[in-house]
Structure 1
Amino acid sequence: MSRPRSLVALSALVSGTLVLSGCGLMQQLGDDAAEPTDDNPVENEDLAQVGHDPLVREARLFVDTGQDARIEVAIEALERTDEYSVLYLDFTFLDQLTGTNDNLSSPPRLMDPVSGRVYEPLIDPVTEEGYGSVPSRDGYFPIYENAPNKWRFYYPPIPRHVTHMTFTGYGVGAMTGVPVTDVDAFREPDVPNVLDYDDNNPPPPGTEVTYELAEPGPEAEPQVVSLESFVDSTVASTTRDGDSETVALHSDVTFDVDESTLTDDAEEIVLQASQTIESNIDPDNPEVTVIGHTDSTGSDSYNMTLSEERAETVRDLLEDELGSDYTFDVEGRASEDPVAEEGGSDNDEAAARNRRVEFSYQVDVEAEGESGEGLDAASRNVAPPATFREEDGEIVASEEYDDVQLDVYPLVRDGAYIVTTVSLTNTTDDPIELDMSGDDATPDGGPDTFSEGTLGGFQLVEPDNDLVRYVAQLKYDVDGEDQYAGFAEEVHALQAGEDYRVMAIFPAPAQEVDNLTLNAGPFGEIEDVPIEN
């Protein structure tokens, strides 16, 4: 799968270093998502206005030359007006680099952990360069060891009721609990001093390196991407994409072969589905779409008829339970929209997953708390945003695969999501290209979309009910087609003896769940990973 163009541009954001004897350079930042609208005032104005000391984390940055350097990222502030949001960030290299280096780590993103909206830096659609701090030499930022780069990034406006965001990028994992401050105007730009230094005259350690500023104009293109998440069970699965929720009832559980009449056990499942709709649907938009699907076996006409009849059966029972306050649209799609690829070694499992009846509706993504009774796979569990953590905590488990050690840290509940952080350490004397796409990485018949990315083979499993939670994905519209990118740090060559922090986001379980099993792809199954609130 090709990566979305916007991601390629953003990856270059902190790119390269033109470095001789320690000086370096890094490149600039850089499409169709609607700007969020927000009519709600800040409910806790004091919370949004409180200042804070810089939020600081250390990490290791992947670079293309293999000189993967230790860095320090310090967030000074995140400010917003009605027009933009601005992140003030200090970026310090703790190791010396030589030559020209391109950054390979993930770009700087902001996530609202309650709604799942992900904000990407504003870019100029013509030049595809980002707004904010301007590179000083041929599109690169000079980097000097232990001299903080004072960077400013522009983002779309964050809704007024949001008080805290989560920052990801540059290999720092997830910096949760970043407070949003309301301002009338952004800070005056620093006086640029970057051209005062060069390889022969580097800044003394601790000197702040400042840049010229490019402020966004009306041509700036905001990009706000919704996370798409997936929760699976033996009877149903739930996909959430922004404010849209789709629940798929597995037909092998609800119908006999070639039948469109519900089994006795299936009627109870559909009744639970009606409770899910009542609990989760946006009361201002009580419309439900019911769609039947089949696998690819059989003729198109037969499959179309069967898919329509099954959808009508589910619709009729939902309508009986929910009453006249809801409207229903029904259609059959036969085998047109598979969620798993048939024809492989796991054909039976993939075909079974494709046989399903889906119902979809709009939800209120800003609502906090837990949804009521209904299907376990469709329970939406929302806590407050997590507080900031300078460290990931104590290692709770370790496994080894192909000379790479995996260390697992406690899970962190952050709004409607679980932050999963692991570190990977190369235990050899040579670089390792870690292959995490083995046969054990993805369950048989698993959905293709949610197996993308470095940690796409990872899942979180609830030990008491076997609910499986997959890595949330960023969904982009690229020339009218959906493309996905894992919301996790991509892993490149692991340098000898070095450790790397890797983060992924999963949909959160209910509040009473205090530990989960981590299916860590080729590293195997790790039980009893605790959740911190």
Structure 2
Amino acid sequence: MRKPAAWLKCAERNGSLWLVRSLRKTALVLSVALVVAGCSDGGEPEGARTSEAAPGASASPAPVVYAKEGWTGPVDPVRIRLEVGAVERYADRSLLRFYVTNLTERPAFPDLAAAIANRAHMSLTLLDPVGGQAYLPLRDARGLQLGSDPRQTLYRPGVRYEHVLAFPALPADLDALTVLTNTTAGEFTGIPVADGAGTPGPSAPPAPALPTDQVGGQTYAFPLREGTGEPENAEPRALVGLTETDVKSTRKGPDGEEVGLRTDVLFTIDSAKLSPRARDILDDVAAEIEARADVQLSITGHTDDTGAPAHNLDLSRRRADAVLKELKNRLGDGWKYLAKGVGETDPAVRPSGAAAAEARARNRRVEVSYDLRPQEPPPAVNAPFHAVDGPVVASREADVDVLGFKTRRRIDVKPFYRDGAYLVAVFDITNLGPDPLTETLNSYWGVNGGEFGGFTVLDPSTGVRYGSVRLGPESPVRTLFADPGETAFLVAPDTANRGFFYVPTPPAATTSVTFDAGPFGTFKDVPID
């Protein structure tokens, strides 16, 4: 991975003499990006360019920015150019500097927020795919983000608006990140981290108060929001990856692991008597614990929501005790064991609709959780900046039903790629009509969670299935995942939305995977770039 200093030297060497090329596959597809000439042989990655200084701005060297075009939405879709600069590291916080240009012909509010149109909360996230951490924007005591305040401003066509957004302080040895955006431009991988200089804040002149005085082609800055109280979101969130086999699921973060043993396989029906397969399964679990776990083991029995609550509670306790006994026989007294049963009170997934049976099967489990001993992390590197996606490798049409409303859609699958310790699944989904999409409801919900929770990735060589990566703990309000935050930014017929989501990466020797795309079916031999 190239250090930021080398990238900046390349930018100084080339100045602003970049050949900019705007690629648009369709009027909707987000993978459009600015492509540059020069530095491709060891300098700047494709898609980077130097930013022209606006009149009245600082005379310091122009920063390198990484640019794509895409759409915000879905309430009032706006096509924008989104340019991301290096993440600036300061003692008490870090700063993301980015630029938004309205590419439509009308003044508009590009909505960079997730779930609801709340422009006080921009849904940009910093992802460390090597260290397994996510950083959310800092908020003050009122819940308002620290940084630029664009709420009262219409973005005029062709005007470039500078934003700054504050994030938690970053480790000193972190030299690159991925920026997740709530737009069809998606993920900005390989964004360098550099030490900040001076006082963090806007570098462009303030936007004129009268919108008509804002000149197309110029760069202006928004005023900064004054924060109150101690910042919230100051701690990073662990990335939690999901892997599954037919006998267990594993949620793994950088510091701990939670193994969910499927009781349908481990026990005979409605009892705590171990099945014939249980011995081999528990042998494997004990070996994993011996290799990686700290001394404290928590064993929790769960049931689904069928049957009497009192019976479920008793059954969950007896099953947890049975697993504890078997693990202790294998591991001995060098570990601390704690077993309990909670019955149906803590489901892994809320049963709902067509996926209710699968959800209940997941809820019938015994969880073994533990902290991980310090280990040398597996080798992983940040993906370089991806200005554009690879070519379509497979397509299929399907009728997608959302609350009884069906629309014909086509998925175009692109090559997947690795970003640190994760695999990025990439695809476009086109509404073939004849009606607009009914979203903003999620069409691809599933038990894995996230915007594409019904999609998974399978490694055919091992039989391991990979699900969506979660950002931190589950939340009753909104659990975050490494995905766009929406499935549809554009809802009209004959428009396309780019989708992506992160899963744990398969072994390095795996060069292709099987993609289970929910209602679109299964695609074999999807290449990994």
Question: TM-score, normalised on structure 1?
Answer: 0.75
Paired residues, number: 449
Partner of 1:231: 243
Distance apart, 1:64 and its partner CA? 2.2
CA contact (8 A) 2:513 2:524 kept: yes
Per-residue CA distance 1:278-326 (angstroms, 9 max, x = gap): 3343xxx421101122344555454444333322232233223334432
Per-residue CA distance 1:318-355 (angstroms, 9 max, x = gap): 22333443211111223332334569766665444333
CA contact (8 A) 2:74 2:440 kept: no
Q: 1:332-347, aligned counterparts within 5 Å?
A: 332-341=341-350
CA contact (8 A) 2:157 2:216 kept: no
Which of 494, 497, 519 is 1:522 aligned to? 519
Which of 503, 506, 510 is 2:507 aligned to? 510
CA contact (8 A) 1:456 1:486 kept: no
Which of 275, 287, 300 is 1:275 aligned to? 287
Root mean square deviation of aligned Cα:
3.2
Instruction: Return the alpha-carbon distance in structure 2 between the equivalents of residues 121 and 219 of structure 1.
Output: 13
**2:427 paired with 1:418:** no
User: Which residue identity is paired with 1:222?
Assistant: N
**2:60 paired with 1:60:** no
Q: Which consecutive unaligned segments of at least 5 residues does structure 2 have?
A: 1-61, 115-121, 399-406
Partner of 1:249: 261
CA contact (8 A) 2:162 2:220 kept: yes
Which of 260, 264, 277 is 1:265 aligned to? 277
Partner of 2:393: 396
CA contact (8 A) 1:79 1:85 kept: yes
Of 418-427 and 517-526, the range deviating more from structure 2? 418-427
Per-residue CA distance 1:446-504 (angstroms, 9 max, x = gap): 73xx2453x222111222343222222345676xx564244322124423443332221
3-state DSSP class of the match of 1:306? Answer: helix
Per-residue CA distance 1:359-392 (angstroms, 9 max, x = gap): 00123698521xxxxxxxxxxxx62222222112
User: Which residue identity is paired with 1:225?
Assistant: R
Determine what percentage of the aligned residue pairs are the same residue.
28
Instruction: Return the alpha-carbon distance in structure 2 between the equivalents of residues 77 and 421 of structure 1.
Output: 24
CA contact (8 A) 2:108 2:156 kept: no
3-state DSSP class of the match of 1:133? Answer: coil
Which of 181, 184, 192 is 1:179 aligned to? 192
CA contact (8 A) 1:249 1:356 kept: yes
Which of 309, 312, 316 is 2:325 aligned to? 316
CA contact (8 A) 1:293 1:337 kept: yes
Which of 139, 143, 159 is 1:123 aligned to? 139
CA contact (8 A) 1:63 1:104 kept: no
CA contact (8 A) 1:293 1:335 kept: yes
Instruction: Return the alpha-carbon distance in structure 1 between the equivalents of residues 250 and 497 of structure 2.
Output: 32
Of 160-169 and 103-112, the range deviating more from structure 2? 103-112
User: Which residue identity is paired with 2:149?
Assistant: V
Partner of 1:464: 461
Partner of 2:482: 487
Partner of 1:133: 148
CA 1:60–1:142: 2 relative to 1, 3 Å: same
Question: TM-score, normalised on structure 2?
Answer: 0.75
Instruction: Return the alpha-carbon distance in structure 2 between the equivalents of residues 503 and 289 of structure 1.
Output: 34
Instruction: Return the alpha-carbon distance in structure 2 between the equivalents of residues 246 and 459 of structure 1.
Output: 19
User: Which residue identity is paired with 1:118?
Assistant: A
Distance apart, 1:97 and its partner CA? 2.6
CA contact (8 A) 1:110 1:168 kept: yes
Instruction: Return the alpha-carbon distance in structure 1 between the equivalents of residues 211 and 429 of structure 2.
Output: 35
CA 1:110–1:202: 2 relative to 1, 3 Å: same
Q: Which consecutive unaligned segments of at least 5 residues does structure 1 have?
A: 1-50, 370-381
**2:85 paired with 1:76:** yes
CA 1:531–1:301: 2 relative to 1, 3 Å: same
